[in-house]
Amino acid sequence: MLYPKIVSVNKSRKITTVFVICSIVVSIILLIINYVCNSKLNWSIVAIASIVYIWFSTIYALDKSVNLAGYTLYQMISDSILIFIIDYVFGFRRWSLSIGIPIVIMISNITMVIITIIKNKKYVKYAFYEMLIILFSIIYDVIISMASTHSPILNIITLWICITNLSFVLIFNYDILKLELEKKFHI
């Protein structure tokens, strides 16, 4: 054999189709929930816009062959800032803190788990960024959960996802992570 067997094109196209269908179904469900709940706030539009944005970002990330973990971190921070700005502009009802940013953090952590599973051989490239993502997520969730006057249910779910992600890292990739941290922080 001259070349390694990488995911076949047909398989990757099928996976893409499945994800597209899932995105559409989730979007419709969000719209229905938003309509049924008769909320004054059209939060589902923001969520659907986020899904579309994630699609564009994913296509961009794959196309540019960037460091996926670094890109996820960058996206997580930039998306959080963007959502906060939208909330602030529309009267600062604090949905960015209790809904928007936790969803971004949740998606980032799940993305990292998927990337780690799919591209485990390249984990050394992702380890440092994954730690930053987890660290940022946990700090944010702890602060918001403690400070929020609303029900911080989404923050608590997000916190558990982060802790699960951290556990995965520590169980399966501890050695790589330790080495990477030694490299980055050596004096």
- Which residues in this chain contact other proteins in the complex, by CB under 8 A? 1-6, 8-9, 12-13, 16, 59, 62-67, 121-122, 125
For residue 180, give both structure tokens.
């990477």
Answer yes or no: are the C-beta atoms of 110 and 138 closer than 8 Å.
no
User: Nearest approach, Cβ of 49 to other proteins (angstroms)?
Assistant: 23
Give 13 or 184: the residue with its C-beta nearer to other proteins.
13
User: Nearest approach, Cβ of 5 to other proteins (angstroms)?
Assistant: 7
Give 9 or 89: the residue with its C-beta nearer to other proteins.
9
Give 139 or 179: the residue with its C-beta nearer to other proteins.
179
DSSP 3: S
User: Nearest approach, Cβ of 14 to other proteins (angstroms)?
Assistant: 12
Helical (H) or strand (E) element with 124: helix 123-147
CA 61 to chain centre: 14
Answer yes or no: are the C-beta atoms of 108 and 133 closer than 8 Å.
yes
As a whole number of angstroms, the distance between CA 30 and CA 38 comes to 12
Give 104 or 115: the residue with its C-beta nearer to other proteins.
115
User: Nearest approach, Cβ of 40 to other proteins (angstroms)?
Assistant: 41
User: Nearest approach, Cβ of 8 to other proteins (angstroms)?
Assistant: 8
Give 4 or 91: the residue with its C-beta nearer to other proteins.
4
Distance from the first to the final alpha carbon of the chain: 45
CA 12, 18, 19 angle in degrees (round to 5)? 90
CB burial of residue 96 (10 Å; 0-12, 13-18, 19+): buried
